[in-house]
């Protein structure tokens, strides 16, 4: 053993000790850092991440409520006039194009009353754009029917597949009680007039009814058979916090709600009508992709409408993760059906 060997031994030992201590601290630091990262970015810490759907959702069928304003005052309304905002036409078209590029096949325009803004011209231009430019298989509207003029059908009827008119009763007094009317005007006269125009201008005619305390005992069979809609959507009156229930709401719909059994009795009474499509609260709540006036998806899972960011700001795939959309329920409630008038076997 020479001197250098003798000297190298303790040095090596010291070096080894230092390396071990350093690596221990390095591992400790590394672990501490990992835990910190986990705490900040891991699932469960960000409330927004918790609300997001982990699955990719295709916006096959979208309901765009481009306005909240309405000339009616239905007591159970669950999309109330909380703002008077409407997007500029070009921005609305940009959003519709983004949806089409993400897989949208059907667009439904709704409100508020969609024929109110610019006397239906804004709506007509969107309908024309969706059918002619975007070539969507299905373009539809839900309206209360009170603002529609024959000239609208002459100008835009070709581009519209389905027009749904809301009607909850064939008794004018009941419509008055519900608020489904403007002043003393007849809601039913409009309904029959529009059914005729739909025939004349080759638009599929649909009826939507909300079953509530005031119409739950009615028998509508004869009137529905006479009007012969392609589809009769029958909804159970639904409470949405902040819209028709709770402190910030513009309506108090509690007195309109009915039980599951009452809803079932209504359906049983109308079981002979083959075009009837029932929607209980359970089926309805999360099975619609709803876009509000800013093109934000509305998530109803918590019993109120929580908005996502706008698709105009973050794109469709980032926004739709916060829509709360239940695709299985959408299919279960028959959300996908023959929705293009070209494919319907209708006698015009
Ligand atoms: S017609 Fe009635 S339910 Fe529809 S938006 Fe107007 S007030 Fe609401």
What does the pLDDT read at residue 304?
85
- Residue 341 pLDDT exceeds 80: yes
234 CB within 6 A, ligand 1: no
- Residue 48 pLDDT exceeds 70: no
- Residue 39 pLDDT exceeds 80: no
75 CB within 6 A, ligand 1: no
Strands (E) in the chain, as ranges, are 61-65, 106-110, 138-143, 162-166, 204-211, 231-236, 276-279, 289-291, 296-299, 306-310
Q: What is the mean pLDDT of residues 185-209?
A: 96
Q: Whose CA is closest to atom 8 on ligand 1?
A: 77
Q: Whose CA is closest to atom 5 on ligand 1?
A: 112
What does the pLDDT read at residue 145?
96
Q: Is 91 helix (H, G, I), strand (E, B) or coil?
A: helix
Confidence grade of residue 305 (pLDDT, cut at 50, 70, 90): confident
What does the pLDDT read at residue 15?
55
Cα(78) to ligand 1 centroid in Å equals 8
Cα(115) to ligand 1 centroid in Å equals 12
What does the pLDDT read at residue 330?
87
Its pTM stands at: 0.83
Are the CB atoms for 89 and 122 separated by under 8 Å? yes
Average pLDDT, the chain: 85
74 CB within 6 A, ligand 1: yes
Task: State how far the Cα of 233 lies from the Cα of 110, in Å rounded to an integer.
Answer: 15
Q: What is the mean pLDDT of residues 235-256?
A: 87
Q: Which is nearest to 281 in space by CA: 241, 217, 235? A: 235
What does the pLDDT read at residue 281?
87
- Residue 65 pLDDT exceeds 90: yes
Phi, psi of 109 (to 5 degrees): -95, 130
Q: Which two tokens stand for residue 321?
A: 């993760």
- Residue 41 pLDDT exceeds 50: no
Rounded (5°) CA angle 229-234-236: 165
What is the atom index within ligand 1 of the atom nearest the CA of 73? 7
What does the pLDDT read at residue 348?
64
- Residues contacting residue 227 through CB under 8 Å, at least 6 positions apart: 191, 192, 195, 205, 207
What does the pLDDT read at residue 192?
97
Confidence grade of residue 334 (pLDDT, cut at 50, 70, 90): confident
- Residue 223 pLDDT exceeds 80: yes
Q: What is the mean pLDDT of residues 253-279?
A: 95
CATH number of this structure's domain 50-340:
3.20.20.70
Task: State how far the Cα of 8 lies from the Cα of 11, in Å rounded to an integer.
Answer: 5
335 or 313: which leads in pLDDT: 313
Q: Whose CA is closest to atom 2 on ligand 1?
A: 74
What is the atom index within ligand 1 of the atom nearest the CA of 180? 2
For a pocket test of ligand 1, which of 81, 180, 190, 211 has the largest count of ligand atoms closer than 8 A to its C-beta? 180
What is the atom index within ligand 1 of the atom nearest the CA of 68? 5
- Residue 184 pLDDT exceeds 70: yes
Confidence grade of residue 51 (pLDDT, cut at 50, 70, 90): low
- Residues contacting residue 111 through CB under 8 Å, at least 6 positions apart: 65, 66, 67, 68, 69, 70, 79, 142, 143
Q: What is the mean pLDDT of residues 237-244?
A: 86
Domain boundaries, the chain: 50-340
Report the chain's C-alpha Rg in angstroms. Answer: 28
Cα(1) to ligand 1 centroid in Å equals 100
- Catalytic residue set: 70, 74, 77
Cα(101) to ligand 1 centroid in Å equals 31
Are the CB atoms for 194 and 151 separated by under 8 Å? no
For the chain, the farthest-separated pair of C-alpha atoms sits apart, in whole angstroms, at 116
What does the pLDDT read at residue 268?
98
Q: What is the mean pLDDT of residues 187-199?
A: 97
Share of the chain above pLDDT 90, in %: 62
70 CB within 6 A, ligand 1: yes
168 CB within 6 A, ligand 1: no
What does the pLDDT read at residue 242?
83
Cα(50) to ligand 1 centroid in Å equals 33
């Amino acid at each position: 053993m020479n001197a250098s060997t003798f000297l190298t031994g303790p040095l090596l030992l010291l070096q080894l000790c230092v390396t071990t201590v350093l690596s221990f601290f390095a591992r400790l630091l590394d672990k501490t850092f990992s835990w910190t990262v986990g705490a900040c970015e891991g699932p469960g810490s960000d409330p927004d991440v918790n609300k997001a759907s982990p699955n990719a959702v295709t916006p096959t069928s979208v309901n765009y409520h481009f306005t909240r304003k309405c000339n009616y005052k239905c007591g159970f309304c669950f999309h109330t006039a909380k703002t008077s905002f409407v997007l500029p036409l070009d921005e609305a078209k940009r959003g519709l194009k983004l949806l089409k590029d993400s897989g949208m096949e059907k667009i439904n325009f709704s409100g508020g009353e969609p024929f109110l803004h610019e006397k239906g011209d804004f709506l007509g231009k969107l309908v024309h754009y969706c059918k002619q430019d975007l070539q969507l298989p299905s373009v539809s509207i839900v309206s209360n029917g009170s603002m529609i003029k024959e000239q609208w059908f002459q100008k835009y009827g070709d581009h519209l597949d389905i027009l749904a008119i809301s009607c909850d009763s064939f008794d004018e007094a009941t419509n008055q009680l519900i608020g489904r009317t403007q002043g003393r005007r007849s809601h039913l006269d409009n309904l029959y007039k529009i059914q005729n125009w739909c025939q004349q201008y080759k638009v599929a005619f649909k009826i939507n009814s909300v079953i509530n305390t005031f119409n739950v005992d009615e028998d509508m069979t004869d009137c529905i058979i006479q009007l012969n809609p392609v589809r009769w959507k029958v909804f159970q009156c639904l409470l949405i916090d902040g819209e028709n229930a709770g402190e910030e709401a513009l309506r108090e719909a509690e007195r309109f709600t009915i039980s599951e059994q009452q809803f079932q009795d209504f359906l049983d009474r109308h079981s002979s009508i083959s075009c009837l499509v029932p929607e209980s609260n359970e089926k309805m709540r999360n099975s619609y992709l709803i876009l509000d006036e800013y093109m934000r998806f509305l998530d109803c899972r918590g019993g109120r409408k929580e908005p996502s960011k706008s698709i105009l700001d973050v794109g469709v795939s980032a926004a739709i993760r916060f829509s709360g959309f239940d695709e299985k329920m959408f299919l279960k409630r028959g959300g996908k059906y023959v929705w293009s008038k070209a494919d319907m076997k209708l006698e015009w």
